[in-house]
Structure 1
Protein backbone atom coordinates (compact mmCIF):
# COMPACT_ATOMS: atom_id res chain seq x y z
CA UNK A 1 0.00 0.00 0.00
CA UNK A 2 2.83 2.40 0.84
CA UNK A 3 4.50 1.69 -2.51
CA UNK A 4 1.27 2.59 -4.33
CA UNK A 5 0.92 5.88 -2.42
CA UNK A 6 4.59 6.61 -3.06
CA UNK A 7 4.03 5.95 -6.78
CA UNK A 8 1.22 8.53 -6.77
CA UNK A 9 3.53 11.02 -5.02
CA UNK A 10 6.34 10.37 -7.51
CA UNK A 11 3.83 10.81 -10.35
CA UNK A 12 2.70 14.13 -8.90
CA UNK A 13 6.26 15.34 -8.46
CA UNK A 14 7.25 14.27 -11.96
CA UNK A 15 4.36 16.29 -13.39
CA UNK A 16 6.14 19.46 -12.37
CA UNK A 17 9.77 18.36 -12.53
CA UNK A 18 10.52 16.60 -15.82
CA UNK A 19 13.98 15.59 -14.60
CA UNK A 20 12.36 13.28 -12.02
CA UNK A 21 10.63 10.71 -14.25
CA UNK A 22 8.31 8.16 -12.71
CA UNK A 23 9.33 5.37 -15.06
CA UNK A 24 12.62 4.35 -13.34
CA UNK A 25 10.85 4.43 -9.98
CA UNK A 26 8.14 2.08 -11.23
CA UNK A 27 10.63 -0.38 -12.67
CA UNK A 28 12.69 -0.36 -9.46
CA UNK A 29 9.68 -0.89 -7.18
CA UNK A 30 8.26 -3.71 -9.28
CA UNK A 31 11.66 -5.38 -9.53
CA UNK A 32 12.31 -5.20 -5.78
CA UNK A 33 8.87 -5.63 -4.19
CA UNK A 34 5.78 -7.71 -4.71
CA UNK A 35 3.56 -4.71 -5.41
CA UNK A 36 1.16 -5.29 -8.33
CA UNK A 37 2.56 -3.43 -11.37
CA UNK A 38 -0.79 -2.27 -12.71
CA UNK A 39 -1.72 -0.72 -9.35
CA UNK A 40 1.62 1.12 -9.30
CA UNK A 41 1.12 2.30 -12.88
CA UNK A 42 -2.39 3.58 -12.24
CA UNK A 43 -1.31 5.32 -9.03
CA UNK A 44 1.58 7.07 -10.78
CA UNK A 45 -0.80 8.02 -13.60
CA UNK A 46 -3.30 9.49 -11.12
CA UNK A 47 -0.58 11.53 -9.43
CA UNK A 48 0.80 12.81 -12.69
CA UNK A 49 -2.68 13.59 -14.04
CA UNK A 50 -3.41 15.68 -10.94
CA UNK A 51 -0.23 17.67 -11.53
CA UNK A 52 -0.81 18.10 -15.26
CA UNK A 53 -4.40 19.19 -14.58
CA UNK A 54 -3.07 21.89 -12.24
CA UNK A 55 -0.67 23.01 -14.98
CA UNK A 56 -3.52 22.97 -17.51
CA UNK A 57 -5.77 25.04 -15.24
CA UNK A 58 -2.92 27.38 -14.32
CA UNK A 59 -2.16 28.03 -17.97
CA UNK A 60 -5.83 28.66 -18.60
CA UNK A 61 -5.97 31.24 -15.82
CA UNK A 62 -2.71 32.89 -16.78
CA UNK A 63 -3.71 33.19 -20.42
CA UNK A 64 -6.96 34.87 -19.46
CA UNK A 65 -5.29 37.34 -17.11
CA UNK A 66 -5.52 40.96 -18.19
CA UNK A 67 -1.83 41.55 -17.41
CA UNK A 68 -0.71 38.82 -19.81
CA UNK A 69 -3.21 39.88 -22.45
CA UNK A 70 -1.72 43.40 -22.40
CA UNK A 71 1.78 41.95 -22.73
CA UNK A 72 0.77 39.69 -25.60
CA UNK A 73 -1.07 42.45 -27.47
CA UNK A 74 2.03 44.66 -27.71
CA UNK A 75 3.69 44.72 -31.07
CA UNK A 76 6.87 42.70 -31.10
CA UNK A 77 10.02 44.39 -32.31
CA UNK A 78 11.01 43.25 -35.74
CA UNK A 79 14.16 41.21 -35.70
CA UNK A 80 16.24 40.67 -38.83
CA UNK A 81 15.72 37.33 -40.51
CA UNK A 82 18.64 34.93 -40.12
CA UNK A 83 20.61 34.52 -43.34
CA UNK A 84 21.19 31.36 -45.34
CA UNK A 85 19.84 27.93 -44.59
CA UNK A 86 18.59 28.78 -41.09
CA UNK A 87 16.53 31.68 -42.45
CA UNK A 88 15.06 29.48 -45.17
CA UNK A 89 14.25 26.76 -42.64
CA UNK A 90 12.57 29.20 -40.27
CA UNK A 91 10.64 30.82 -43.09
CA UNK A 92 9.35 27.46 -44.36
CA UNK A 93 5.58 27.35 -43.97
CA UNK A 94 3.97 24.48 -42.15
CA UNK A 95 6.91 23.16 -40.20
CA UNK A 96 6.18 20.12 -38.05
CA UNK A 97 5.60 22.27 -34.95
CA UNK A 98 3.20 24.53 -36.85
CA UNK A 99 1.21 21.53 -38.07
CA UNK A 100 1.01 20.16 -34.54
CA UNK A 101 -0.24 23.50 -33.21
CA UNK A 102 -2.86 23.58 -35.99
CA UNK A 103 -4.11 20.13 -35.02
CA UNK A 104 -4.25 21.06 -31.34
CA UNK A 105 -6.54 23.97 -32.18
CA UNK A 106 -9.28 21.54 -33.24
CA UNK A 107 -11.06 19.98 -30.23
CA UNK A 108 -11.42 16.43 -31.53
CA UNK A 109 -7.90 16.25 -32.87
CA UNK A 110 -6.52 17.90 -29.72
CA UNK A 111 -7.87 15.03 -27.64
CA UNK A 112 -6.07 12.56 -29.89
CA UNK A 113 -2.83 14.53 -29.70
CA UNK A 114 -3.16 14.66 -25.91
CA UNK A 115 -3.68 10.90 -25.73
CA UNK A 116 -0.64 10.24 -27.93
CA UNK A 117 1.39 12.69 -25.85
CA UNK A 118 0.33 10.99 -22.60
CA UNK A 119 1.23 7.53 -23.91
CA UNK A 120 4.42 8.28 -25.87
CA UNK A 121 5.74 11.55 -24.47
CA UNK A 122 5.69 13.25 -27.88
CA UNK A 123 4.89 16.03 -27.91
CA UNK A 124 6.04 16.49 -24.32
CA UNK A 125 3.03 16.26 -22.02
CA UNK A 126 4.14 19.32 -20.07
CA UNK A 127 4.13 21.43 -23.24
CA UNK A 128 0.82 19.96 -24.38
CA UNK A 129 -0.73 20.70 -20.98
CA UNK A 130 0.29 24.34 -21.13
CA UNK A 131 -0.76 24.76 -24.75
CA UNK A 132 -4.11 23.02 -24.31
CA UNK A 133 -4.85 25.32 -21.38
CA UNK A 134 -5.47 28.06 -23.93
CA UNK A 135 -7.90 26.00 -26.01
CA UNK A 136 -11.59 25.36 -25.34
CA UNK A 137 -10.86 21.79 -24.17
CA UNK A 138 -12.89 21.01 -21.07
CA UNK A 139 -10.86 20.21 -17.95
CA UNK A 140 -12.73 16.92 -17.45
CA UNK A 141 -11.83 15.79 -20.98
CA UNK A 142 -8.21 16.84 -20.39
CA UNK A 143 -7.98 14.94 -17.10
CA UNK A 144 -9.70 11.78 -18.39
CA UNK A 145 -7.57 11.65 -21.53
CA UNK A 146 -4.38 12.34 -19.61
CA UNK A 147 -5.22 9.68 -17.01
CA UNK A 148 -5.99 7.07 -19.66
CA UNK A 149 -2.80 7.74 -21.60
CA UNK A 150 -0.56 7.86 -18.54
CA UNK A 151 -2.16 4.71 -17.09
CA UNK A 152 -1.40 2.87 -20.34
CA UNK A 153 2.19 4.15 -20.33
CA UNK A 154 2.97 3.57 -16.67
CA UNK A 155 1.24 0.18 -16.39
CA UNK A 156 3.13 -1.02 -19.47
CA UNK A 157 6.43 0.20 -18.04
CA UNK A 158 5.66 -1.30 -14.63
CA UNK A 159 4.98 -4.66 -16.29
CA UNK A 160 8.36 -4.60 -18.07
CA UNK A 161 10.36 -6.37 -15.30
CA UNK A 162 7.87 -9.25 -15.27
CA UNK A 163 8.05 -9.55 -19.05
CA UNK A 164 11.85 -9.71 -18.87
CA UNK A 165 11.60 -12.86 -16.73
CA UNK A 166 10.03 -14.82 -19.62
Structure 2
Protein backbone atom coordinates (compact mmCIF):
# COMPACT_ATOMS: atom_id res chain seq x y z
CA UNK A 1 0.00 0.00 0.00
CA UNK A 2 1.37 3.43 -0.88
CA UNK A 3 2.00 6.13 1.68
CA UNK A 4 -0.76 8.33 0.26
CA UNK A 5 -3.36 5.55 0.38
CA UNK A 6 -2.35 4.69 3.96
CA UNK A 7 -2.63 8.34 4.98
CA UNK A 8 -6.07 8.79 3.42
CA UNK A 9 -7.42 5.54 4.88
CA UNK A 10 -6.07 6.29 8.36
CA UNK A 11 -7.35 9.87 8.25
CA UNK A 12 -10.83 8.74 7.24
CA UNK A 13 -10.85 5.95 9.80
CA UNK A 14 -9.73 8.36 12.52
CA UNK A 15 -12.49 10.81 11.62
CA UNK A 16 -15.12 8.06 11.58
CA UNK A 17 -13.93 6.67 14.91
CA UNK A 18 -14.16 10.10 16.52
CA UNK A 19 -17.83 10.38 15.59
CA UNK A 20 -19.05 6.76 15.64
CA UNK A 21 -18.26 4.96 18.92
CA UNK A 22 -18.24 1.44 17.44
CA UNK A 23 -15.46 2.33 14.97
CA UNK A 24 -12.24 1.75 16.92
CA UNK A 25 -9.12 3.69 15.94
CA UNK A 26 -7.00 1.80 18.47
CA UNK A 27 -7.55 -1.46 16.58
CA UNK A 28 -6.53 0.25 13.34
CA UNK A 29 -3.33 1.48 15.04
CA UNK A 30 -2.43 -2.00 16.31
CA UNK A 31 -3.03 -3.53 12.87
CA UNK A 32 -0.97 -0.78 11.22
CA UNK A 33 1.86 -1.53 13.62
CA UNK A 34 1.81 -5.22 12.72
CA UNK A 35 1.74 -4.44 8.99
CA UNK A 36 4.92 -2.49 9.63
CA UNK A 37 4.96 -0.32 6.54
CA UNK A 38 4.04 3.31 6.99
CA UNK A 39 3.22 2.95 10.70
CA UNK A 40 4.30 6.54 11.40
CA UNK A 41 2.02 7.82 8.64
CA UNK A 42 -0.85 5.79 10.10
CA UNK A 43 -0.24 7.23 13.58
CA UNK A 44 -0.18 10.82 12.38
CA UNK A 45 -3.17 10.44 10.06
CA UNK A 46 -5.25 8.64 12.71
CA UNK A 47 -4.43 11.35 15.22
CA UNK A 48 -5.35 14.10 12.75
CA UNK A 49 -8.62 12.37 11.87
CA UNK A 50 -9.53 11.83 15.51
CA UNK A 51 -8.69 15.44 16.36
CA UNK A 52 -10.79 16.72 13.47
CA UNK A 53 -13.74 14.64 14.63
CA UNK A 54 -13.40 15.75 18.25
CA UNK A 55 -13.20 19.36 17.04
CA UNK A 56 -16.56 18.84 15.34
CA UNK A 57 -18.00 17.72 18.69
CA UNK A 58 -16.26 20.62 20.45
CA UNK A 59 -17.71 23.18 18.03
CA UNK A 60 -21.17 21.63 18.09
CA UNK A 61 -21.20 21.88 21.88
CA UNK A 62 -19.85 25.44 21.80
CA UNK A 63 -22.46 26.68 19.34
CA UNK A 64 -25.37 24.72 20.76
CA UNK A 65 -24.77 25.30 24.47
CA UNK A 66 -28.12 26.95 25.13
CA UNK A 67 -30.09 24.35 23.21
CA UNK A 68 -28.30 21.48 24.95
CA UNK A 69 -28.97 22.94 28.39
CA UNK A 70 -32.65 23.45 27.58
CA UNK A 71 -32.95 19.89 26.32
CA UNK A 72 -31.51 18.47 29.51
CA UNK A 73 -33.69 20.73 31.64
CA UNK A 74 -36.85 19.46 29.92
CA UNK A 75 -36.07 15.79 30.49
CA UNK A 76 -38.12 14.26 33.25
CA UNK A 77 -35.77 12.92 35.89
CA UNK A 78 -36.11 12.14 39.50
CA UNK A 79 -35.00 14.98 41.76
CA UNK A 80 -32.01 13.00 42.97
CA UNK A 81 -30.77 12.13 39.45
CA UNK A 82 -31.26 15.71 38.25
CA UNK A 83 -29.32 17.06 41.23
CA UNK A 84 -26.46 14.62 40.64
CA UNK A 85 -26.33 15.47 36.96
CA UNK A 86 -26.32 19.19 37.71
CA UNK A 87 -23.51 18.79 40.26
CA UNK A 88 -21.39 16.76 37.84
CA UNK A 89 -21.97 19.20 34.97
CA UNK A 90 -21.12 22.15 37.21
CA UNK A 91 -17.86 20.57 38.39
CA UNK A 92 -16.84 19.64 34.87
CA UNK A 93 -17.69 23.13 33.63
CA UNK A 94 -15.56 24.77 36.34
CA UNK A 95 -12.72 22.30 35.83
CA UNK A 96 -12.55 22.90 32.08
CA UNK A 97 -13.04 26.66 32.28
CA UNK A 98 -9.61 27.10 33.92
CA UNK A 99 -6.65 26.80 31.55
CA UNK A 100 -4.35 25.28 34.14
CA UNK A 101 -6.71 22.34 34.65
CA UNK A 102 -8.42 22.20 31.25
CA UNK A 103 -5.39 21.53 29.07
CA UNK A 104 -3.97 18.72 31.25
CA UNK A 105 -7.43 17.17 31.38
CA UNK A 106 -7.79 17.21 27.60
CA UNK A 107 -4.24 15.87 27.19
CA UNK A 108 -4.82 13.06 29.71
CA UNK A 109 -8.15 12.18 28.18
CA UNK A 110 -6.68 12.06 24.68
CA UNK A 111 -3.71 9.97 25.84
CA UNK A 112 -5.26 7.59 28.37
CA UNK A 113 -8.95 7.73 27.55
CA UNK A 114 -10.09 8.62 31.07
CA UNK A 115 -12.30 10.62 31.21
CA UNK A 116 -13.67 9.70 27.76
CA UNK A 117 -12.48 12.12 25.11
CA UNK A 118 -15.94 12.49 23.57
CA UNK A 119 -17.34 13.72 26.89
CA UNK A 120 -14.37 16.02 27.44
CA UNK A 121 -14.74 17.40 23.90
CA UNK A 122 -18.37 18.32 24.53
CA UNK A 123 -17.68 19.74 27.99
CA UNK A 124 -14.67 21.75 26.80
CA UNK A 125 -16.79 23.29 24.05
CA UNK A 126 -19.39 24.47 26.52
CA UNK A 127 -16.74 25.64 29.02
CA UNK A 128 -15.22 28.12 26.59
CA UNK A 129 -11.81 26.50 26.15
CA UNK A 130 -9.91 28.02 23.23
CA UNK A 131 -10.23 26.16 19.95
CA UNK A 132 -6.50 26.02 19.20
CA UNK A 133 -5.55 24.93 22.70
CA UNK A 134 -8.09 22.12 22.64
CA UNK A 135 -6.87 21.00 19.20
CA UNK A 136 -3.20 21.04 20.21
CA UNK A 137 -3.76 19.09 23.44
CA UNK A 138 -6.05 16.61 21.70
CA UNK A 139 -3.64 16.05 18.80
CA UNK A 140 -0.63 15.61 21.10
CA UNK A 141 -2.48 13.10 23.26
CA UNK A 142 -3.77 11.13 20.29
CA UNK A 143 -0.29 10.94 18.71
CA UNK A 144 1.14 9.61 21.98
CA UNK A 145 -1.69 7.08 22.37
CA UNK A 146 -1.47 5.73 18.82
CA UNK A 147 2.33 5.68 18.83
CA UNK A 148 2.31 3.56 21.98
CA UNK A 149 -0.18 1.18 20.36
CA UNK A 150 1.82 0.91 17.12
CA UNK A 151 5.20 0.48 18.80
CA UNK A 152 5.00 -3.21 19.87
CA UNK A 153 3.92 -4.35 16.43
CA UNK A 154 6.47 -2.19 14.65
CA UNK A 155 9.32 -3.53 16.78
CA UNK A 156 8.65 -7.19 16.00
TM-score (norm. length: structure 2): 0.81
CA distance in 1, matches of 2:140, 2:114: 16
Deviations 1:39-63 (CA, angstroms, capped at 9, x unpaired): 2111100000001001100110111
Runs of 4+ in 1 over 3 A off after TM superposition: 72-82, 97-102
Is 1:21 aligned to 2:13, yes or no?
no
The answer for unaligned runs of 5 or more in structure 1 is 83-89
Most deviating of 99-108 and 122-131? 99-108
The CA deviation at 1:105 is 3.1
1:118-129 alignment runs, 5 A limit: 118-129=110-121
Q: Which residue of 2 aligns with 1:162?
A: 154
Partner of 1:123, secondary structure, is coil
Question: 2: CA distance between counterparts of 1:19 and 1:78?
Answer: 28
Contact 1:22–1:44, Cα closer than 8 Å, also in 2: yes
1-structure distance, mates of 2:72, 2:8? 44
8 Å CA contact 2:94, 2:127 repeated in 1: no
CA deviation after TM superposition for structure 1 residue 98, in Å: 7.0
Give 2:145's match in structure 1, choosing from 141, 147, 153.
Answer: 153
Which is higher, the Rg of structure 1 or of structure 2? 1
Structure 2 residue 29 is the aligned partner of structure 1 residue 30: no
Summarize the alignment of residues 80-95 of structure 1 with structure 2, pairs less than 5 Å apart.
Answer: 81=80
2-structure distance, mates of 1:33, 1:71: 49
Residue 123 (structure 2) aligned to one of 131, 149, 164: 131
Distance 2:57 2:118 in 1: 8
Report the TM-score, using the length of structure 1 for normalisation. Answer: 0.77
Q: What does residue 61 of structure 1 align with?
A: 63
